[in-house]
Amino acid sequence: MGLTVAEKILKNHLVEGKTEKGAPVEIKIDQTLTQDATGTMVYLQFESMDIPRVKTEVSVSYIDHNTLQSDFRNMDDHRFLQTIAAKHGLYFSRPGNGICHQVHLERFGKPGKTLLGSDSHTPTGGGLGMIAIGAGGLDVAVAMAGGPFPLSYPEIIGVKLTGKLQPLCSAKDVILKLLQIETVKGGVGKIYEYFGDGVKSLNVTQRATITNMGAELGATTSVFPSDDITREFLKLQNREADWTEIVADSNAKYSRVIEIDLNKVEPMIATPHMPDKVVTVREVAGLPVDQVGIGSCTNSSINDLGAASEILDGKTVAANVSLGIAPGSKQVLYSAFEAGIMQKLIDAGARILESACGPCIGMGFAPKSGGVTLRTFNRNFKGRSGTPDAGVYLVSPETAAASALTGVITDPRDVFKTYTKDYSSFVKINDNMIVAPLSEDAAKEIIVEKGPNIKECPKASAITETIAAPILLKAGDNITTDDIMPAGSKVLPLRSNIPEISKYVYEAIDPNFHDKAKKAGKGIIIGGDNYGQGSSREHAALAPMYLGIKAIIAKSFARIHKANLINFGIMALEFANPADYDKINEGDDVEMIDVINSVKSGKNIVVRNNTQGFEFEVVHKIVGKDIDILLSGGKLNYTKNNF
């Protein structure tokens, strides 16, 4: 039987395990990336391993999240990240150089390589034909130290694309359509691989839009073949030598195939407050809009901005709309000026924001109270925009620009008829904001700078045979890592200070959670389906661990968050009978017995509800080395003891 693209890359990087769906495997990691909101803790963890230099082919530290410097804390983190990159052999992408995923696509990604990033949208690299996976920071630190990355061997879902996108319909509409089909939890344990004649009609940045937002499916990653289109993109980046052809064999088999006719794709929109609440734009057309944002790692390439500029050329945005533009990288920003794109946008009334994540993570450009904001971003979780009661809608750049022009949600085909141009020829290369690694001798002279807000990473204690604790919180379905550990300008500067950031854990669900947890000293949390979806932020596990959370019992987990819980010594348990979820109340005292033996033997764990006087069972689904990692009290303890 032939192999798919994903199978070929995974096979070439397999370190341990069998390539059977669901089997525990470990793969070699070629490249890593971090961003500053997660990076500080990653490098504190790496530093604690006492390894002088990263062992990957390429590792890059990006500054793109915490760029709002209202006090010393973010700048201190940036100086720490720059000096530790110099000390340990990493590339350093300076503030203003752009969003990690856009810059990595342009300057570092290579077909056939593996990439592990401490950001959930790392699968953007799949647009180049990489196996690019988002993970918790501790997994990235271990990869930089030369360790393999563990995962359950994924199911490979084929997405067959036929036809060609019609004018003013975009790659964003394709992934929104797939989210409508598969939902935010449909991709757990899966890789989505795109194939078919329609693939040839999509350029690399269009493919990257699709793989980027594949993270919202809960997928391990998404991947396109590396073909002549890929080669042309790398040639424009002066990196043609990095190209390798990787296509699926003609007799490759997928476990399931989803067919999407690009000819029939129309403008789509994700309505509040979940990326899979997708309808056609025409179904909600006419709703007044207060704000429009174009950019983020999903839709900030030169062609994305170019499409918007064509619609707005010679016109002015509606008086009721504030339009913000966030170019994905310095390269995009400079090239867009060369192409005349930025002039058109500015003339139309757009505000030009920094080449950074910005409003996507609630870092500035927040909408008005109760406002409607259309964004070309990838997530519309409640409160993520920085305004708790705003309605966030996810759209393509074409729909965003058309709606900014009319002041209401508008199908772009109703205001503009022509084809958009290809602006790739305007791309200009300038890497002066990327600091290359120092030589080993020069690196020895570097003094790592640590500001007063940078605290050491706390460690968990080993798992005990009996765990007795109160239920401190009972949450519902699709709880996001934003719900657990919010972002925004108030909280993100605390990412390197776990005692302080822990004060905001579960703030959106229970404002008193921190105080309850501190008073109890330990606790257990109950969750519904797809617990922990969204951003890869390990702080959503690290801060609860610091507060004494011993276990999460849920109906099901999102992949990255479950791995993060294990990495920090928190038991990720699922109800053997989901109906038991309804029987448990917040405040109940429960006791888990025979824990270590049950984990080692693969048996269900018995939980006694001492408050209500009944027992139920939970399943741990933890296999391979994850068992030892969990029982050690997390991956940092395990790595120091065994690596």
Question: Which positions are annotated as active-site residues?
Answer: 64-65, 119, 379, 535, 537
The helix or strand, by DSSP H or E, that contains position 100, with its residue range, turns out to be helix 100-107
Contact 114, 6 (CB under 8 A): no
- Between β-strands 467-474 and 523-527, what pairing exists: parallel, antiparallel or unpaired? parallel
Q: Give how far the C-alpha of residue 445 lies from the chain's centroid of Cα atoms, to the nearest Å.
A: 35
Q: Which residues pair with 223 in a beta bridge?
A: 193
Supply the DSSP symbol for 280: E
Structure tokens at 538: 């390990």
113 closest CA partner among 131, 93, 97: 131
CA distance 555 to 18: 27
Order of strands, edge to edge, in the sheet holding 291-295? 278-280, 268-270, 391-394, 372-375, 291-295, 322-326, 351-352
CA distance 550 to 429: 49
- HSE, CB side, 13 Å, CA atoms: give it for residue 453: 19
Contact 416, 402 (CB under 8 A): yes
SS3 582: helix
CA distance 136 to 80: 20
Structure tokens at 626: 């994850």
Structure tokens at 395: 């759209």
Residue 162: other Cβ atoms inside 10 A: 15
- Give CA angle at 322 (354, 332), nearest 5°: 30
Supply the DSSP symbol for 612: T
Alpha helices in 239-376 (DSSP H): 281-284, 302-312, 330-338, 341-347
For the chain, what is the total number of helices (H) and then of strands (E)?
22, 27
Q: Any idea which residue has 């920090």 for tokens?
A: 568
Residue type at position 603: K
Q: Give how far the C-alpha of residue 408 lies from the chain's centroid of Cα atoms, to the nearest Å.
A: 30
CA distance 257 to 535: 27
CA distance 489 to 483: 16
Contact 93, 4 (CB under 8 A): no
Structure tokens at 469: 């604790």
Residue type at position 437: P
Which sign does the torsion angle of CA 233, 352, 266, 411 carry? negative
Task: Measure the N-to-C terminal CA separation of the chain; round to a whole number of Å.
Answer: 37
SS3 373: strand
Q: 224-260: b or e for each residue (b if 16 or more CB lie within 10 Å)?
A: bbbbebbbebbebbebeebbeebbbeeebebeeebeb
Contact 340, 371 (CB under 8 A): no
